[in-house]
A = this chain, B = another copy of it.
Amino acid sequence: MVEKRKPIAVKDAIEKVLGFSRVGQIEHVALQESYGRFLAVDLVADHAVPPFDRSPYDGFAIRSIDTISASADLPVEFEVIDEIGAGYVSDHLLGERQAIRIMTGAQIPNGCDAVVMLELTKVSKRNDKVFMSIKRPFKKGDNISFAGEDTLKGSTLVKKGAYITPGIVALLATFGYDTVPVVYKPRIGIIATGSELLDVRETLVPGKIRNSNSFMIEAQCRRGGAKPIYFGKLMDNLDECFLAVQNALRSVDFLITTGGVSVGDYDYLPEIYKRLGANVLFNKVAMRPGSVTTVAEVNGKLLFGLSGNPSACYVGFELFVRPIVRTFLHNERPHLQKIKAVLGKDFLKPNPFTRFVRGQLTFSDGKISVSPVGLDKSNVVTSLADANVFIVLPGGSRGYQMGDMVDVLLIEDQTGSETSWAESFK
């Protein structure tokens, strides 16, 4: 007899999975390896930026009081008493009508309260002395970058869990992190099951297809911030699959299997969960594709049973595994970012279950539109290549027409969302 499974709402499924989330430990990597990792501590400024008053331009450091009378007709002349390059400090104290030649980035000398840009000055020499004259007055503070104007000492600049961008790398360098505390990447084991699967290098034979899911998931793991560990592909053989799952579970933080979760005679995952004594969180989700997606838990460790169909497998990863990975990485925005877009093509099929349609987002004149790419069948692999979003069509809705406003989930985006996009979905 066919087992009757009760579908659970997508929102509830995600909640159940996140109930078993774990967070990763800290590891230290070289600054140059930190791009794309997730910060494990708050980045706090241990000094002000700039650390001292400095000149943003090449020019002359002066006392503004000396410039009050300066005009085109009556320029004011200054004696140039020193020259400081970036990285050097002058030990002169500026006196009346004295100036110090200063380079971009150099520290403002004592007694000076304004900088005049080089191009606004005229330089001359007399009796081995250098003079500089200007034709207009300057105010106190003109052209000075003041200590702390960018950042005060003690400010939290970047929060724990942030995805490290090139801009954050620059901040880490500024604050002396030659090694960076990042969150250890969760190790995700991957096992592909199915007697129809050939290795990638094998020649096609009747009835068989090449294994593509495990490689796709490895890339999804990398995009999500995890470290994939491939444990190989297996024939539909209960004992062999059971041992492989049991063994892989020991050395990973999460385990993904593909295939074998349906109700067919060769779908052994349900039996494997039984043998492991696993707690099955759900084995049917009210969604298309991927309704057979199953998630179970053994001693707090999650097993994701994704569909063997490529598109269903892809969706299953992004909906259930990705937020678990981002939570592990201490990221405050673990959910996919949901935005609204205008449907660019009809999608007339009704949606008994919440449907995730592979789509491509385009921008035009401040408007966002989205169109489905390729066929929307769960076994279609080619449309995955062009998709950068999922169009989410809620369960119970009729078909949609061009011009309708729909929800889309951004799958190539690092921003994410604090709250689950699924809050408003069944």
A residues in contact (CB < 8 Å) with B: 1-2, 31-32, 35-36, 47, 49-52, 56, 58, 83-89, 101, 103-107, 118-119, 123, 145, 149-151, 157-158, 162, 164-178, 194-197, 199-204, 206-213, 215-220, 222-223, 230, 235-236, 262-267, 308-310, 314, 337, 339-342, 363-368, 374-375, 377-388, 405, 412-415
Contact = CB atoms under 8 A, between A and B. Distances in A.
A220 to B, nearest CB: 5
A58 B382 contact: no
A157 B88 CA distance: 59
B216 A201 contact: no
A363 B378 CA distance: 29
25 contacts: A1-B123, A31-B215, A35-B218, A36-B222, A47-B204, A51-B209, A56-B379, A58-B267, A88-B196, A89-B207, A107-B206, A119-B263, A145-B377, A165-B219, A165-B385, A166-B217, A167-B216, A170-B215, A170-B384, A171-B381, A173-B200, A177-B200, A178-B201, A339-B363, A340-B363
Given A173-B215, A176-B202, A368-B368, 11 more contacts: A49-B382, A88-B195, A150-B380, A169-B218, A170-B212, A170-B310, A171-B212, A173-B200, A174-B381, A176-B201, A176-B204
Chain A binding surface SS class? loop
Contacts of A405: 366
